[in-house]
Structure formats: C-alpha cells, structure tokens
Amino acid sequence: MNETEAVPVPAPAEVEENYLSAGHTVRSWLLTTDHKRIGLLYLFSIIFFFAIAAVAAAIMRLELLTPPGDLVLSATYNKLFTLHGVIMVWFFLIPSIPNVLGNFLIPMMIGARDVAFPKLNLLSWYLFMAGGLLALHAIIVGGVDTGWTFYTPYSSRYSNTHTVEMALGIFLSGFASILTGLNFIITVHEMRAPGLTWFRLPLFIWSHYATSLILVLATPVLAITLLLMMLERIWGLGIFDPRLGGDPVLFQHLFWFYSHPAVYIMILPSMAVVSELIPCFSRKRIFGYKFIAFASMAIAVLGFVVWGHHMFVSGQSVYAGMIFSILSFIVAIPSGIKVFNWTATLHRGSISFETPMLYALGFIGLFSLGGLTGLFLAALAVDVHVTDTYFVVAHFHYIMVGGTVLAFMGGIHFWWPKITGRMYPEKLGQLAALVTFIGFNLTFFPQFVMGYLGMPRRYHAYAPEFQIYHVLSTAGATILGVGYLLPVIYLLWSLRHGKKAGANPWGATGLEWQTPSPPPVHNFAEVPRVTGEPYDYSPQEEEKKAEDDHA
Amino acid sequence: MRFPLFPDQASTLAPKVDELYFGLTLLSAIMMAIIFLPMLYFLYKYRRGNKVDRSPLRIPLWKIEVTWTVIPLLIVFGFYTWAADIFFDQERPPAEAMDITVIGKQWMWKIQHPEGNREINELHVPTGRAVRLIMTSQDVIHSFFLPAFRVKQDVLPGRYVTEWFQPTKVGTYHLFCAEYCGTSHSGMVGHVIVMEPADYEEWLRVGKPAETMAQSGERLFRELGCSGCHMGNSQIRAPRLEGLFGKPVPLADGQIVMADEKYIRDSILLPQSQIAAGYAPVMPTFAGHISEEELLQLLLYIKSLGLKQPEETR
Ligand SMILES: [Cu+2]
Ligand SMILES: [Cu+2]
C-alpha cells in the first residue's frame, strides 16, 4: 500500500458528510464543481447516449438478418449507422472512461481535493451536453446519412440531410474534450500529493496523461476539419469539393489525423483501468511498471503518424502508403509490450476472479485479437482487399467494444463500491461478464470471415452467401444485449440493497482506497503523504491471510 | 443457407494476397498461443489458495522487456516487407495492359471498352491478359471492389485513378462499391464476367458499336474545335499532339512533367495550370462543356496519337 502518514484526523469521527449526501437538489448537481459529481453527470449522460446508439445497432442487426433490405428503407439504414457511429464514438467511447472514471479518480489517486480547474470541468460537461443534444436534435428532425466519417464531397454537397447541425454538435463536444484534457494535464502536473513522484503514480494516471495529450493536440484538428466542411456546405468555400477546385482526399487526411489518435483516446484509458485491475486481483506488483508507462507515451506519440493507413486505397501515393504501413506495424509494439507485462504480472500472483478481473482478462483477450487483426490492416496488400469490408468493422469493434467497453465495465464494477459505498452482487456480476464475452465474440468474430469473403460495410442489402454470418452476428448481438442489461439492473438494485462496501473492499493499494466510501466532499480529511512505490501488493501475505481466514 | 469460408481466387494477385493472409493468420494464432497458454496456466496455478511457490523471480527485468520488444519488431518488419512487395506490384500495371474506362456515379458503374462497347454494372474481361481500369467519378467518392481479384480502389471525382488485375479463372464474380456513396450505396453492385479470350473477342464483336473510343475522341476533337488549333496549319500556334502521350513535356515554368492521363485531363480542363514551353496560354478551358465520358474518349484518342510518330519534332 502507499504508505501514508495520515496525521490522525482531529474530531469528527462520526459519519462525515460524503459527496453524495452533501446536497440533494437538482441544483446541487447541475452547478456542482465536485469532480466526483461531474464524473457521475457524465456517467448518466453517456449511458443515455449509449442506449440510443445501441438501439440503432439492434435495428441494423435485425435488418441484416436477411439479404434484401426489407425492414427499413436504405435511407433509414444509412441514418442508423451514422447515428450509431457518431453517438458511440463521440458521445460514449471518447468520454466513457476519461470523463467518468478519470474525473472521479484522477484527483483521488493523486491525493488532491479536486481537478486543477473545477469550474472548467463543469463547463466541459455543459459543452458535451450541448453538443450531444444538438446531435440528437439533428437525428430527431431527420437524421444524417454521411456515416460518422463525413467524407466529402458527399457530406459537403450531395447529402441532403442535417449534416451541418450534426457536425456542429461534434464540434462543440470537441471543446469539452479539449478542456478535459487540459484540466487533467495540469492536475497531474500541479496537484500531486507530497511524495507522489512521477514514477510513483498509478499507471491509470500515466495512461490518462497520455490520453489528455492526444485530446489537446488532436481534437482541434477535428474542429477545423468539420468547420471547413460546414463552410463548404453553407457557403460553397472550395476546400474539399473538386467542383469548387478542392481536394476530397485532403478531407480524409485531416479527418484521420484526428480520428486515428482518437482510437487511442478510446483505448489508452481502458489500458489505464486494466493496469489497475490486474495487479489488484493477482496481488502482485505490476510487472514492468516503467515499460508500461512509457508504452502509453509511445502510443500517444506514434498514434499521430499513422493516419494514412485508413487511406491505402484512397488515391494517396504508393510511397505514402508504404511509410504509413511500416509506422502502423510499429505502433503495434507498445500495445504488445503492455499485454506481455500484464500476463507476466499474473505469474506467481495470488489470483482471484471477481467480476472486475474477469472483465480485465476478457479485455486482454479481445484487445489482443483486435490488435493482431490490426496487423492485417497494416499489411498493405491485405488491407487493399479488406478495407471498407466487415473485416474492418470486426477489427475496430474488437478494440472499441472488446477493449474499451469491457474495460469500462471492469472499472465500473471495481470502483462501484468507492463511488456508491455499496457492493454489487458478485455472482451476477461474474455471470454478466461471461455473457458479455460470449455474446461479443459471437457477434463480431463472424464478421472477420465475411469481411475477407468481401462483404462491404455500410450495406443495407447484401449478397445471399453472406447471410449465415449475419445471422450468427445478430444472434450474438442478442446475447451481448443481455450482457449489457444485466449490470444495469443489478447495479441499480445494489444502490439500495448492496452490502456496505467500506473504504477498501478489494484490499487495493492506491490513495482512492484510503478514504471512506463514498468519499467525503474534499476526498481526504488530511492531505496524504506518499512514501512508497505503487502496487505494493504481496501475494505471499495474501496467501497467508487466506489460510488464516480458513483456519 | 450457404457456408462459404473463402472467396474465389480469380486473379494472378489473389493467391499472393491469400498467402500473406494465411501467414498473418498463422502469426496471430501463434501470438495468441504465446500470450494465452501461459496466461491460462498462471491463472490456474496461481489461483488464490493453491499452495505453490510465489517468491519473486530474480531475472533482470530489462532482458525480458527487450526480448518481447525486439522479437515482435523483427517479425513485423518481415511482414511489412512481404505485404509492401505485393502492394508495390499491385500498384504498377504492366505496360501491355489493356485499358478499360470506368465512370462511377450515384449509383451505377458505367464502363466503356476501347473498342467502343459499353456496359453498365457489368465488366467483361478475358483471362490471361492484364486489364487496367482508368476510373473517375461524376459525383462523390465510390470504390471499385472486386473481391475475387483482391483489388479495390477508391474512385474519385475530378481525377483519374487506376486499378489493374489479370483474371485467371472463367466465371462471374461480384463487383461492389466499397466506399459509402449515399442512399443506394448497397445497390451499386454488379458483376465482372471473366471469359476465354476467344469468347471475349466474340462478345466484343457482337456488341460492336459504330465507333471505337478513339474514333469518338477524334470526332469530338473536331467538333469541339481542338483540331482548329492543334492540327494542320491553323493561325494559332499550338503543340501537335502526336507522340505526346507518355513522354516528358517541358513546361513554360521550367518544370518537366510526364504526359499521363492526369496531364491530359488537366490540359483540357485547367489549361492555365500547366503551359507547355514555347506556347502562348491561349487554350480555353473545356470544364463544364464536356462530360467525363467524352473526356475519356478524347484521352484515348490522344493516347492513340501517342503511338504515331510526330510529324514534326516537338
Ligand atoms: Cu487508424
Ligand atoms: Cu458506394
């Protein structure tokens, strides 16, 4: 454990007011500057958005049960996948772990009372919601059919849907990202507790630090790109449309310059979570701490120079393709390093299999497969065949759902007792994790096979020979849906009926566990003082304890 | 319901791509085994309560880390080279390839053979010959995807792109638009029909139209008034176009560019952008006056002139 010389807290040993009991009015939530409450505001918002995007996915999977387009019109189908992509990427995945768990935990993990700029933090949430509601409005008044990628000149001239409004929504939410990133960077630099040097930081912080750098550096490019697209659409400014003297491939360069790093905005925080879970449930100090920390930074930096791998068939030069290909192969290495280090952490540990650990192990499996299939896409000749097919769809769902969503679920279960003060029902949790894992694989593994067979993505109707794989995929999605619903039910149930958690139900190290659950408004009664290394677990002691308990 | 596991292999490229694909699949399987067999073993052996040695290992950390950094790095370099090598060939059509022109528009593929035969959403090709598609789009971006050949290329508006393949197996295969292009994107599909060379000749002969593409181009060349400047003894001094195609052209600003498809296209649509050395910039733009189809016909005509000897040295 991080040894802390907590100077004995003076008097109030009785129930101290915690951040949840500190105010019950709507106003106390909507005007809060408490990072923990803002984290929860984000949690409710992203679950709301997730639900909408998931319904869109469900309708698409139903449509795809049969080859002809018979359930919805093709125009509707196109709006559904656009909705699904836009909402999932910008209003669920990107904010998921950083804005919920990151907001809640970063200050606590570094022994601070709040983030560096609490009001800015609240402003982020408002921008995010403004963006989200604008996007939602665009959907309600008729939808958008460009796909989440907004390729020009389709989006800037030919589509007659609500492109501008949707782009404006994303544009706004981008500022939320930038502010959050800034806030985290400065918080980590300036607010660490005494004794908490950089190499004593939990890896959760390192990963979020890397994420924040990307948020701050990449998001402005997205803002500019969308702005140019909107200007072209509204005023006919010739940037991307060849009829106006523009270059449509330029749009792709700009878009992917943001959107490839955005993949790491989504995956680095999930690595952050897993780096906390694995050591805790194997009671082992994490293997290769510095290597994992630097791998996060390497991913953040290399992530900026591989965007062209989305464009191997888009008409960029052969030599550009070859350079982006080698760089994309190289960017796989730091991710590999992390996977190896997590696995090595298990060696000689004292491993238990509570729900968060199951999600973490599931993450490693699915993320590895997602990463390995990324090599197929980096390999030029194979990418030419599989790009814009279901192979790509499967690949990024392995990373985004198998990776980010599983880690998010693992993190939510792990920190649930801290956030709410209650335990969730363990057996149900394990069941849900298993159901999710099975449902996920059944949904997305068949998509690799049909992708290589040539099934293009964003197809409303398709050739009959692909049907078997679509049927499997839809069946899997049904199971996956159950895996998502179960936790919603039992987590809500646990709010009232769950066991009281106590400060540290997992016996975890980390400053956030050294304060009551739910934490007091200012996190710590006394500023903690850190004198030791992170992840100070001992498998031998754990075994002794287990034996004693048994005896 | 059919249960296909693998796409048809119908081009010279397909087996090469598939080999690489199998190589990558094998690599993935090995990597998954390297990660997960030990992991499962650890999870079992070191489960809490199992009495085993848990004292920390004493191997220098950096040795382990360097091992699992460097070995994967070498492996991916290997795969990179393999993939890039195939890609490089795939991007370079052989000189003797036959040209077929493709125009994508929402939501159909318009194809014209040099002999003049036109088809829509179907492409007839012979086995045993390299085919090079010269493609452009009339509106948004599309993508010409032939899974059985393992080729795909985005088709861009305002620009020519090419894609080539050599069919090996007679049959009918899918043609898909792979880049999302609007409402009926999934309807922008068709077939490529691979025939024996003799059958292909027969097919061409049966559907033979009045003009070949180059002949249409020649007619346009006269009708649009190009010939007025570029041929015979006109008042205006304009370069002769015989022997132009595929040769380097010195420009007025000192640059030298290759007279390829792009150059011809730009010369007609954006004549002011590149001025041939020694000539006045008097050529009018034809943007908006000719369709993509006519442009391709002019291109093939000028290309056919490229084979002739120029009457005067440029
Ligand atoms: Cu990418
Ligand atoms: Cu299309």
pLDDT tens track for B174-222 = 999 999 999 999 999 999 999 999 999 999 999 989 999 999 999 999 9
- CA–centroid distance, A104 to ligand 1, in Å, is 29
| Least distant ligand from the CA of A460 | 2
Helix then strand then coil, % of chain B, to nearest 5: 40, 20, 40
Spatial distance between the Cα atoms of A263 and A328, rounded to a whole number of angstroms: 13
- CA–centroid distance, B295 to ligand 2, in Å, is 23
Q: How far is CA A71 from CA A59, A67, A389, A461, A498, in A?
A: 9, 11, 22, 10, 42
Q: How far is CA B276 from CA A168, B251, B254, B255, B305, in A?
A: 45, 4, 9, 10, 18
Residue A149 has pLDDT above 90, yes or no: yes
Residue A2 has pLDDT above 50, yes or no: no
- For a pLDDT cut of 90, what percent of chain A falls above it? 90
Residue A238 has pLDDT above 60, yes or no: yes
pLDDT tens track for A401-414 = 999 999 999 999 99
Taking only residues 465 to 484 of chain A, the set having a beta carbon closer than 8 angstroms to any beta carbon of chain B reads 465, 467-468, 471
B314: closest CA of chain A, how far (Å): 30
Q: How confident is the model at residue B307 (pLDDT cuts 50, 70, 90)?
A: low
B140: closest CA of chain A, how far (Å): 6
Residue A477 has pLDDT above 90, yes or no: yes
Fold for B213-304, please state it.
Cytochrome Bc1 Complex; Chain D, domain 2 (1.10.760)
Size of interface A-B (CB pairs under 8 A): 263
Spatial distance between the Cα atoms of A312 and A379, rounded to a whole number of angstroms: 10
**Do the Cβ atoms of A350 and B64 come within 8 Å?**
no
The string of DSSP codes covering A370-435 is HHHHHHHHHSHHHHHHHTTBHHHHHHHHIIIIIIIIHHHHHHHHHHHHHHHSBPPPHHHHHHHHHH
**Do the Cβ atoms of B21 and A315 come within 8 Å?**
no
**Those residues with Cβ within 8 angstroms of residue A443's Cβ, 6 or more apart along the chain or in another chain:** A397, A473, A474, A476, A477, A479, A480
The mean predicted confidence, pLDDT, of chain A is: 93
Which residue of chain B comes nearest to A334, CA vs CA?
B69
pLDDT tens track for B140-157 = 999 999 999 999 999 999
pLDDT tens track for A351-397 = 999 999 999 999 999 999 999 999 999 999 999 999 999 999 999 99
- CA–centroid distance, B87 to ligand 2, in Å, is 23
**How many other CB atoms are there within 10 angstroms of residue B64's CB atom?**
17
- Return the minimum-mean-pLDDT range out of A99-103, A285-289, A392-396, B304-308: B304-308
- CA–centroid distance, A155 to ligand 2, in Å, is 13
Eight-state DSSP code of residue A192: P
Q: Which residue has the tokens 């090079």?
A: B132
- Per-residue pLDDT, averaged over A272-287, amounts to 95
Q: Which residue among A343, A382, A384 places its CB closest to the CB of B39?
A: A343
Partner B contacted by A446 (CB < 8 A): no
**Do the Cβ atoms of A389 and B178 come within 8 Å?**
yes
- pLDDT for B231 equals 80
Rg (chain A; Cα; Å) = 23
- Per-residue pLDDT, averaged over A78-92, amounts to 96
pLDDT tens track for A6-31 = 444 444 444 568 999 988 899 999 99
**Do the Cβ atoms of B179 and A364 come within 8 Å?**
no
- Per-residue pLDDT, averaged over B16-29, amounts to 97
Q: Which residue among A315, A346, A449 places its CB closest to the CB of B5?
A: A449
Long-range Cβ pairs for the range B247-254 (8 Å, 24+): B247/B306, B249/B276, B249/B277, B250/B276, B250/B277, B251/B275, B251/B276, B251/B277, B252/B276, B252/B277, B252/B278, B252/B279, B252/B281
Partner B contacted by A156 (CB < 8 A): no
Is there a contact between A18 and A421 (Cβ–Cβ < 8 Å)? yes
Q: Where are the domains of chain B?
A: 1-43+93-209, 213-304
Spatial distance between the Cα atoms of A295 and A43, rounded to a whole number of angstroms: 28
**Do the Cβ atoms of B73 and A333 come within 8 Å?**
yes
Q: Which one of A339, A459, A460 makes the best mutation probe of the B interface by having the most chain B beta carbons within 10 Å?
A: A459
* Parallel, antiparallel or unpaired: strands B131-137 and B98-105: parallel
Q: How confident is the model at residue A1 (pLDDT cuts 50, 70, 90)?
A: very low
Residue A275 has pLDDT above 60, yes or no: yes
**Do the Cβ atoms of A456 and B178 come within 8 Å?**
yes
Strand partners, B289: none
pLDDT tens track for A500-528 = 999 999 999 999 999 999 999 999 988 89
- Per-residue pLDDT, averaged over A29-39, amounts to 95
Chain B residues lying within 8 Å of A449, measured CB to CB: 5
A21: closest CA of chain B, how far (Å): 37
Is there a contact between A35 and A115 (Cβ–Cβ < 8 Å)? yes
Partner B contacted by A526 (CB < 8 A): no
Chain B residues lying within 8 Å of A282, measured CB to CB: 46
Q: Which residue among A242, A361, A372 places its CB closest to the CB of B157?
A: A242
Q: Which one of B76, B107, B191 makes the best mutation probe of the A interface by having the most chain A beta carbons within 10 Å?
A: B76
pTM, two decimals, is 0.94
**Do the Cβ atoms of A288 and B64 come within 8 Å?**
yes
- pLDDT for A3 equals 45
- pLDDT for A14 equals 47
- pLDDT for A49 equals 97
Q: State in words which class domain B1-43+93-209 has.
A: mainly beta
**How many other CB atoms are there within 10 angstroms of residue B231's CB atom?**
14
Eight-state DSSP code of residue A263: H
- pLDDT for B265 equals 92
**Those residues with Cβ within 8 angstroms of residue B128's Cβ, 6 or more apart along the chain or in another chain:** B166, B167, B168, B197
Q: Where are the domains of chain A?
A: 25-546
- pLDDT for A13 equals 43
Spatial distance between the Cα atoms of B177 and B179, rounded to a whole number of angstroms: 6
CATH number given to A25-546: 1.20.210.10
- Return the minimum-mean-pLDDT range out of A9-18, A232-241, A399-408, B64-73: A9-18
- For a pLDDT cut of 90, what percent of chain B falls above it? 69
- pLDDT for B241 equals 87
pLDDT tens track for B211-250 = 999 999 999 999 998 888 888 666 777 888 888 888 888 9
Is there a contact between A455 and A443 (Cβ–Cβ < 8 Å)? no
| Crossing angle for the helix pair A406-420 and A35-63, to the nearest 10 degrees | 140
Residue B310 has pLDDT above 70, yes or no: no
Q: How far is CA A343 from CA A364, A510, B37, in A?
A: 9, 21, 10
